[in-house]
């Protein structure tokens, strides 16, 4: 729990469920797959809570420095802490439109992405229906989790 509790944003239940199945010799891919499987087999309500645990991109939490360390690093790596006033406004508008349409935040694995790429994906995904976006959010959350596992130094165990 101490090592993997923060891999899924504000959702230590994923690590708790995975802990019962963790083997001492599991490699990075096996741990990532096990944790993803715990999410994929969770109830829709638990999945929705996981999605909702994620902050808005370039949102109020980021401006107030109220993100988890991992989220802050991820958003900084994409330059979301260096948005122009126009970009901040665009993110604010898109965050609002997305939450209004889907009832959860836009989630994207932003590490190594540009602000322009993120804004383009944001606008494109607003055109999707809720089922596709629910699935997209989970796929992106799994990508984020894999990056966080890698940051824990597990990639060397592959």
Is the pLDDT confidence value at 13 over 90? yes
User: Are the C-beta atoms of residues 92 and 61 closer than 8 Å to each other?
Assistant: no
The Cα 50–Cα 123 span in angstroms is 22
The Cα 39–Cα 65 span in angstroms is 28
**Higher pLDDT, residue 155 or 70:** 70
**Higher pLDDT, residue 21 or 98:** 98
- CATH for 12-157, among 2.115.10.20, 1.10.630.10, 1.10.3330.10, 3.40.50.720? 1.10.3330.10
Handedness of CA 93, 97, 100, 102 (dihedral sign): negative
Q: pLDDT of 106-141, one tens digit each?
A: 999 999 899 999 999 999 999 999 999 999 999 999
Catalytic residues: 54
What are the boundaries of each domain within the chain? 12-157
Token code pair at residue 135? 């699935």
């Amino acid at each position: 729990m101490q090592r993997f509790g923060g891999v899924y944003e504000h959702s230590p239940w994923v690590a708790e469920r995975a802990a019962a199945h963790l083997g001492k010799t599991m490699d990075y891919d096996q741990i990532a797959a096990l944790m993803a499987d715990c999410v994929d087999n969770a109830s829709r309500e638990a999945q929705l809570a996981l999605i909702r645990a994620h902050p808005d991109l370039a949102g109020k939490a980021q401006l107030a420095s109220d993100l988890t360390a991992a989220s802050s690093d991820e958003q900084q790596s994409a330059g979301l802490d260096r948005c122009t006033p126009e970009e901040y406004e665009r993110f604010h508008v898109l965050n609002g439109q997305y939450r209004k349409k889907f009832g959860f935040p836009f989630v994207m694995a932003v590490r190594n992405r540009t602000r322009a790429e993120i804004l383009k994906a944001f606008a494109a995904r607003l055109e999707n229906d809720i089922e596709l976006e629910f699935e997209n959010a989970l796929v992106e959350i799994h990508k984020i989790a894999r990056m966080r596992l890698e940051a824990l130094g597990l990639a060397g165990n592959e």
